[in-house]
Structure 1
Amino acid sequence: MALRVLLVHQSFPSQLIAVLEALERRDDVELAGIGMNPYARRGLRYRQYSPVPVAQTGDIVIDDLASKATLAAAAAAAARALSYDGFVPDVIVAHPGWGEALYLKDLFPRAKLVCYCEYYYLRSGGEVNFDPEFPPAPPEVLHRMRARNAITLASLEDADVCVAPTPWQKSTFPAMLHPKIEVFHEGVEVPPADNRATDRTASGGPSVSFVARHLEPHRGFHTFMRAVPRLLRADPSIQVSVIGSDRGGYGAPPSDGRTWKSVLLEELNGSIDETRVRFLGSVDRRRYLDALRHSDVHVYLTYPFVLSWSALETMGASKAMVVSDTAPVRDYFTDECAAVIDFFDSRALATRILSLLRNAKIRTSLGGHAREAFHDYELTRDHGRAAWERLVTSF
């Protein structure tokens, strides 16, 4: 009899892509998925759910809890609909962070529940109050953080086993849960290795790249932007490519409603030449990889928060990198495979970038060691698929 596996993620498949790809190749596994977004894939039974809108009270804690309760109910309704169609899961793999996993064991008490442990909000040591440039989080933000953790904890209590993608992300969860949390990354697709130390843009100058889903302080955008004028002054041929959306993000937007890009451009007061600094916005994968291929030095900065796939992809592509000395980065990056700098030090960032641009031998060495570390830490999608297949089929 086939093993029936249900995958649940708000933005399906997102981090569950590796388990989906691993199991869809097996004749002895039946797959179903639940998410908020439209999705279609051959061989997958998929149910899209739409939570019922709830009236806002103005209390950010109550509103956040109500939102997660509606997500839990909507995901449960989608799972129930699958069962009416004859799909009763043996194994459920779910991201618990938005509430979708909350009621699933009530519906399927015999199913094994695997929770993907992406992040547990910390009062200290995480992204909250990490950056002294911004005011401390007010009490209501801390209350909301604890409420979010409560939803996650309720799901993790039901979980038979959990998976965290990195050691630091596991460490954010309470110690009492650590025995049930395995650590392996879902992995990223490895871009083609490019060891050319003299990559150049169409203008012929050295190129620096910065990539984030959102251009915001959580990913060090403010530190990077403050380093850029020094780069442009030091070498009139340097070109900079910035990829990421102006809107949205993990942290709060500027209080006046502007984007962080507009705030920083105003702060830097004309010292950013936008003929040399290209803001590409959100781009498709082909254009992203093209920008990465033409980059001589890539910059990755982050608060103590979830490690970005782009950091690992750049690592696997043998690129010279300047990275922040923050906890999630230290899981995989050492001085041997990247130039490591203080997250807040824009002057040091500019200095390290310029030093690397002037030394092709060091760039090649860092890139080569980065790719070796990438494989040593088993960060490829192939490794992720194998790890997920081993876990899910072990029940």
Structure 2
Amino acid sequence: MKILFVHQNFPGQFVHLAPALAADGGNEVVALSMQKNPPALWNGVKVFSYQVARGTSAETHPWLADSEPKVIRGEAAMRAALQLREQGFVPDVIIAHPGWGESLFLKSVWPKAKLGIYAEFFYHASGADVGFDPEFSSDNIEQACKIQLKNINNLLHIEMADAAISPTHWQASTFPSAFRERISVIHDGINTDMIAPNPGVALNLGGDLTLTRDDEVITFVNRNLEPYRGYHIFMRALPQILAQRPNARVLIVGGDDVSYGAKSATGKSWKEIFLSEVITQLPESALKRIHFLGNIPYQHFIPLLQLSRVHVYLTYPFVLSWSLLEAMSAGCAIVASNTQPLHEAIRQNETGRLVDFFDVAALTQEVCDLLDQPEERQRLGENARRFACEFYDLQRVCLPAQLEWVQTLAEETKVNIQNEISTDSLVNTVVIELK
């Protein structure tokens, strides 16, 4: 079987699936990526780079500012695909993350290939992330129009995709109902063997400060520190948490940029804005117990989770972070926002505690209560790990299901080819009889 992966920053969500398919000697696996100098061969996958010919136009209507870059990338990927076709590569299956538009025109190059897409999120002007947080929202008709046009890329892919894969049921539910029957809900997978509790863990934060399980550690993890992931709510809870817990240390992981929401109008980072908001409520002794770690290497990230006595995860109704499931796998006692994406993983008082996203006082109370209850933390952590192993384990649950999903796409391709051959044979027979 010949398989093409398409992701602007390959491997992305296909970090496990692509190598697993390449390890099967019967497959030829190729990837298209926008990385400038990717390795020619990565874990058995042949990687080809493509670059866009130009940037966006200053004259483009602002409501189409999200769509034009996707068309530009789609054209660039299409031209790279033409080169692959000229070299004799004809995929049976194309697996793409469509979020950046790269796969828009690949069915024009290979019309018989089956297209499977990663259905990450379908945008809505209300009822999901947009308008959820009144602090950063307004009843804006123009915004609704932009959201409507932002789904152009999604809708075009829905029209041509043969199947889709989505990591959670809630994310799948954001897509139009007519398309949902083509979506298989299979998570990317968590390596629960590697991410497991470790009573002997130690993490050096620089200098003489080394933390172990004997320390009272609270963790909070984002890709970037921003309102979409509840950074402002967490920071507003810290003065009271640290006042009530004089020995607690808070480890905050995340960059200064934005991943999903808008940048602040002031030009300052959200990290700086919300630290400044609460800094007058934090004595010097408390400030010294807040550790902003930035983006840390993965080999340090796992010990951080293993150290955690209470892990806090907050999010708008949006894409569920891998970090939440990794924290579950590490056996963390979790306090999370009572928002829709969490309901699949955090069951109240079973695999964690849920609090209203905006309720700073409730967040403070739940964190402090759990810090006072070691047996309850252990119970929740063990349940969380058991749940992660049962439903999100990479090797035993998710990857086998992903491989089966790809195989189904390939088998549909074979059926179509066989049907075409049968039809051609029938036509030839009829022609002979007519003569």
**Distance (whole Å) between structure 1 residues aligned to residue 78 and residue 397 of structure 2:** 31
SS of residue matched to 1:28: coil
**Distance (whole Å) between structure 1 residues aligned to residue 201 and residue 71 of structure 2:** 53
The one of 311, 318, 332 aligned to 2:331: 318
Aligned to 1:271: 281
The letter for the 1-side match of 2:264 is P
**Distance (whole Å) between structure 2 residues aligned to residue 147 and residue 379 of structure 1:** 37
CA positional deviation for 1:142: 2.5
The letter for the 2-side match of 1:311 is L
Identity %: 37
The letter for the 2-side match of 1:193 is A
Structure 2 CA distance for partners of 1:392 and 1:24, relative to 1, 3 Å: same
**Distance (whole Å) between structure 1 residues aligned to residue 166 and residue 201 of structure 2:** 38
Q: Which moved more, 1:221-230 or 1:61-70?
A: 61-70
Aligned to 2:423: none
CA positional deviation for 1:58: 6.3
SS of residue matched to 1:269: helix
The one of 372, 378, 383 aligned to 1:364: 378
The one of 215, 220, 224 aligned to 2:225: 215
CA positional deviation for 1:88: 1.1
**Distance (whole Å) between structure 1 residues aligned to residue 142 and residue 33 of structure 2:** 29
Residue 14 of structure 2 corresponds to residue 16 of structure 1? yes
Unaligned 5+ runs, structure 2? 204-209, 411-435
**1:304-352, Cα deviation, whole Å (9 max, x unpaired):** 0000000011111111110111001101210111011111111111111
**Distance (whole Å) between structure 1 residues aligned to residue 201 and residue 380 of structure 2:** 14
CA positional deviation for 1:254: 1.3
**Distance (whole Å) between structure 2 residues aligned to residue 380 and residue 347 of structure 1:** 36
**1:255-293, Cα deviation, whole Å (9 max, x unpaired):** 111011111122113334331000000111011112112
For 1:1-395, list aligned pairs within 5 A. Answer: 3-37=1-35, 38-40=37-39, 41-51=42-52, 52-57=54-59, 59-136=61-138, 138-190=140-192, 191-194=194-197, 196=199, 202=211, 205-272=215-282, 273-335=286-348, 336-394=350-408, 395=410
Count of aligned pairs between the two proteins: 393
Aligned to 2:418: none
SS of residue matched to 2:291: strand
CA positional deviation for 1:380: 2.7
Q: Which moved more, 1:151-160 or 1:55-64?
A: 55-64
The letter for the 2-side match of 1:281 is G
SS of residue matched to 1:24: helix
CA positional deviation for 1:199: 8.7
**Distance (whole Å) between structure 1 residues aligned to residue 343 and residue 26 of structure 2:** 39
SS of residue matched to 2:104: coil
**1:99-140, Cα deviation, whole Å (9 max, x unpaired):** 112101111011011011000001222100000112326333
**Distance (whole Å) between structure 2 residues aligned to residue 19 and residue 238 of structure 1:** 40
Higher helix share: 2
**Distance (whole Å) between structure 2 residues aligned to residue 161 and residue 242 of structure 1:** 38
CA positional deviation for 1:195: 6.6
**Distance (whole Å) between structure 2 residues aligned to residue 312 and residue 265 of structure 1:** 27
The letter for the 1-side match of 2:327 is T
**Distance (whole Å) between structure 1 residues aligned to residue 320 and residue 139 of structure 2:** 22
Question: Do the aligned residues in 1 keep the contact of 2:201 with 2:303 (CA within 8 Å)?
Answer: no
**Distance (whole Å) between structure 2 residues aligned to residue 352 and residue 144 of structure 1:** 38
The letter for the 1-side match of 2:45 is L
**Distance (whole Å) between structure 2 residues aligned to residue 21 and residue 238 of structure 1:** 42
- TM-score relative to the length of structure 1: 0.95
CA positional deviation for 1:208: 0.1
CA positional deviation for 1:28: 0.5
The letter for the 2-side match of 1:68 is K
Question: Do the aligned residues in 2 keep the contact of 1:240 with 1:276 (CA within 8 Å)?
Answer: yes
SS of residue matched to 1:202: strand
Structure 2 CA distance for partners of 1:24 and 1:137, relative to 1, 3 Å: farther
Question: Do the aligned residues in 1 keep the contact of 2:391 with 2:397 (CA within 8 Å)?
Answer: no
Question: Do the aligned residues in 2 keep the contact of 1:220 with 1:303 (CA within 8 Å)?
Answer: yes
Query: RMSD in angstroms over aligned alpha carbons?
Result: 1.9
SS of residue matched to 1:50: coil
**Distance (whole Å) between structure 2 residues aligned to residue 15 and residue 144 of structure 1:** 27
Question: Do the aligned residues in 1 keep the contact of 2:34 with 2:51 (CA within 8 Å)?
Answer: yes
Question: Do the aligned residues in 1 keep the contact of 2:19 with 2:45 (CA within 8 Å)?
Answer: no
CA positional deviation for 1:22: 1.9
The letter for the 2-side match of 1:138 is N
**Structure with higher RCO (Cα < 8 A, 6+ apart):** 1
**1:229-257, Cα deviation, whole Å (9 max, x unpaired):** 11110121110000000112200111111
SS of residue matched to 2:15: helix
